[in-house]
Amino acid sequence: MLIDTYGRVATDLRVSLTDRCNLRCTYCMPEEGLQWLAKPELLTDDEIVRLVRIAVTELGVTEVRFTGGEPLLRPGLVSIVERCAALTPRPKLSLTTNGIGLERTATALRDAGLDRVNVSLDTLDAEVFQRLTRRKRHADVLRGLAAARTAGLTPVKVNAVLMPGFNEGEAPDLLAWAVEHDYELRFIEQMPLDAQHGWKREGMITAGDILAALRTRFELTPEGQQKRGSAPAERWIVDGGPHRVGVIASVTRPFCRACDRTRLTADGQVRTCLFATEESDLRGALRAGADDATVAGLWRTAMWGKKAGAGIDDPSFIQPDRPMSAIGG
């Protein structure tokens, strides 16, 4: 079991498979990109599967989400999914992706054992997409979403970040589109995880702003805390159902008290929180020949030290040195 001093138990593992990405989203990294990790620093496929196995069989993890960077850039992704799906007990397996390349891999991923996907899409406008991501790939993402739905990787969830000066007025249109295509839309407040450290709370589009905009066109009924559990998204039933929309308000409505996550970076570091500034090295232990019990013990120790909250509202908050592309969403 991965328990901390506040009694929270981590059962949800987020695994970053690579720090690389084929987009350059303004809220994540600079236009010129970042200095990527050298290949020897990355966990191998075998090391990833071993750590997932330890998490599932020794530490009580029941859900595994593969992230990046962009996980579809990982050459061994399908094999990693297949090997993790073969574990006993079998964890629920999902993937967070920008959707580029999903059109050609969705069926293979489903056949390997992937249960569902989250796809990032911030706008319905191809020109705005190009401004936000600095890449002309909007149509690829739409085709990837459709392929995921056809393959049965459902519910297909769409993650959207609203940014002033880009897409701040699109919330109602995005929800209408998601309802039409049977996707579950989730808005995410912009978080201080950009490589340029340009995030400012002043002027950010908050959960309150998003909900106010949605209510100009839709009737929203709160789903309630009992349904939410430890999920990061507060959800609302849209126009009486069956569709739902979620808002992840990491900045203005933090959900740290219910957090059940543990995170593994692409180079084998345990992070207890997206906003953590400390990491615990598991890669070194693996490569030094540590047995499973020793690795599990290191992981338990790391999670025992998890802080009460992310601390974004603390005046002394220091943004993590690693951008979101290196930590995993």
Token look-up 């574990």 returns 87
Instruction: Determine whether 89 is exposed, middle or buried from the number of CB atoms within 10 Å of its CB (0-12, 13-18, 19+).
Output: exposed
- How many C-alpha atoms does 163 have within 13 Å on its Cβ side? 20
Separation of alpha carbons 261 and 10, rounded Å: 5
Question: pLDDT tens digits, the chain, 329 residues: what are they?
Answer: 999 999 999 999 999 999 999 888 887 776 666 677 889 999 999 999 999 999 999 999 999 999 999 999 999 999 999 999 999 999 999 999 999 999 999 999 999 999 999 999 999 999 999 999 999 999 999 999 999 999 999 999 999 999 998 899 999 999 999 999 999 999 998 866 544 455 455 668 999 999 999 999 999 999 976 666 667 889 999 999 999 999 998 888 877 888 999 999 999 999 998 878 889 999 999 999 999 999 999 999 999 999 987 655 554 445 555 555 555 55
The strand ranges marked E within 42-121 are: 63-67, 92-97, 116-120
pLDDT, residue 193, reads 56
Q: Tens of pLDDT along 91-102? A: 999 999 999 999
Q: What's this model's pTM, rounded to 2 decimal places?
A: 0.90
Separation of alpha carbons 299 and 282, rounded Å: 8
Q: Tens of pLDDT along 250-301? A: 888 877 888 999 999 999 999 998 878 889 999 999 999 999 999 999 999 9
pLDDT, residue 190, reads 81
- 3-state SS track over 132-193: HHCCCCHHHHHHHHHHHHHHCCCCCEEEECCCCCCCCCCHHHHHHHHHHHCCEEEEECCCCC
> Apex CA 281: angle with CA 277 and CA 284, to 5°?
150
Start-to-end Cα distance in the chain: 22
Residues 6+ apart with CB under 8 A from 61: 2, 10, 11, 12, 13, 52, 55, 91, 262
Q: How many helices (H) and strands (E) does the chain have?
A: 11, 12
Least Cα distance to 122 among 154, 170, 155 occurs for: 170
